[in-house]
Amino acid sequence: MTISFKDRVAIVTGAGGGLGRTYALDLAKRGAKVVVNDLGGARDGTGTSDAAAKVVEEIREAGGEAMANGGSVTEYDQMEEMVAKAKEAWGGVHVLINNAGILRDKSFAKMEPADFDLVVKVHLLGSANCTKAVWSTMREQAYGRILMTSSSTGLYGNFGQANYGAAKLGLVGFAKTLHLEGAKYNIRVNSLAPVAGTRMTEDIFPPEAFDAFKPENVTPAAIFLVSEDAPTNMIVGAGAGGFQASYVTMTKGVALPEGERNAEGVAAAWGQIIDRTGDTVPQSGSEQSMGIMKLLQGQ
């Protein structure tokens, strides 16, 4: 069955190039009215350009409907204004893809606090600003599909990206909580960890891999994760036509008797604590406490 976004309004941040552009083009091709948001800055977040307007032009030339927005995700009032304009023109906002991002890569020893602060501000707080700007609308219309852009760096770490990794795993926690708070309003929230050859990664990939990991190969996962029949609370990896799911799991663990509740007791039981036999995927934070209570009750 063809996935359609007819009568849906979508906002894609950082959509002036790379992944965001391919998301915006595909959404428009499938019938969505698209807000193409992009400050148009360089990879490190400096400067501006007319990148968003060019993507809007592409969409319109293909017969789609779109508007450009040059607001910064770090400014909540600008995101509120963007949502207000979308609602004024098209009546609502049904899809939000938080994709805007910058890089300030350095080893932590050499990283300035300002570089840590700005990366977290753009990726994590920027996504919070955009999401907050659409949240009440999605609750009122009892429909919303939100996608956070996480990263393998956030999930598993990557040398030289402490700021980026902190922001990207923060987004997973943000998504997991919004999934719980949005469930009764038919708001589904997922996280995507893309691997793509874009302006952000052009000096990381060798040329042959850069071509294999073109942004268009990530787009199918993003589009599915904001579709009407999308799952929720998922972390999906995508790149070069490969698709994966990642999970935050919890081992059964061990309950130490009162006399052994010390560092030495933890050390002695370490093998049991990390044994993944029968591990679970908690659906909320309370399951950690519940798991401990079960252990204490000898279950």
Kindly state whether residues 269 and 176 are assigned to the same domain: no
Confidence of residue 213 (pLDDT cuts 50, 70, 90): confident
Which residue in 50, 149, 173, 59 sits closest to 96, CA to CA?
Answer: 149
Q: Are 55 and 22 in contact (CB under 8 A)?
A: no
Kindly state whether residues 42 and 151 are assigned to the same domain: yes
Residue with tokens 């891999």: 209
Do the bridges between strand 242-246 and strand 235-239 make them parallel or antiparallel, or are there none, so unpaired? antiparallel
Q: Are 191 and 172 in contact (CB under 8 A)?
A: yes
Kindly state whether residues 21 and 76 are assigned to the same domain: yes
Kindly state whether residues 183 and 274 are assigned to the same domain: no
Kindly state whether residues 67 and 94 are assigned to the same domain: yes
pTM of the shown model: 0.95
Kindly state whether residues 240 and 264 are assigned to the same domain: no
**Of the residues 143, 164, 185, 247, which is catalytic?**
164
Kindly state whether residues 241 and 276 are assigned to the same domain: no
Each residue's pLDDT tens digit, 194-210: 998 666 666 666 777 77
Is 164 an annotated catalytic residue?
Answer: yes
**Count: domains in the chain:** 2
Distance CA 21, CA 25 (A): 6
In a domain, 1, yes or no: no
Distance CA 1, CA 210 (A): 31
Do the bridges between strand 9-13 and strand 33-37 make them parallel or antiparallel, or are there none, so unpaired? parallel
Each residue's pLDDT tens digit, 179-190: 999 999 999 999
Each residue's pLDDT tens digit, 234-292: 999 999 999 999 999 999 999 999 999 999 999 999 999 999 999 999 999 999 999 99
Domain with 276 in it: 258-296
- CA geometry: angle 291, 177, 232, nearest 5 deg: 95
Tell me the sheet residues that pair with 35.
11, 67
Kindly state whether residues 59 and 156 are assigned to the same domain: yes
Do the bridges between strand 242-246 and strand 187-194 make them parallel or antiparallel, or are there none, so unpaired? unpaired
Question: CB neighbours (10 Å) of residue 89?
Answer: 12
Q: What's the chain's average pLDDT?
A: 95
Kindly state whether residues 273 and 187 are assigned to the same domain: no
Kindly state whether residues 102 and 170 are assigned to the same domain: yes
Confidence of residue 97 (pLDDT cuts 50, 70, 90): very high
DSSP at 227: S
CA distances from 294 to 74, 253, 280 (A): 43, 10, 14
Distance CA 267, CA 278 (A): 21
User: Which phi-psi region, left, alpha or beta, contains residue 259 (left: φ > 0; alpha: ψ -120 to 50)?
Assistant: alpha
Return the SS3 of 115: helix
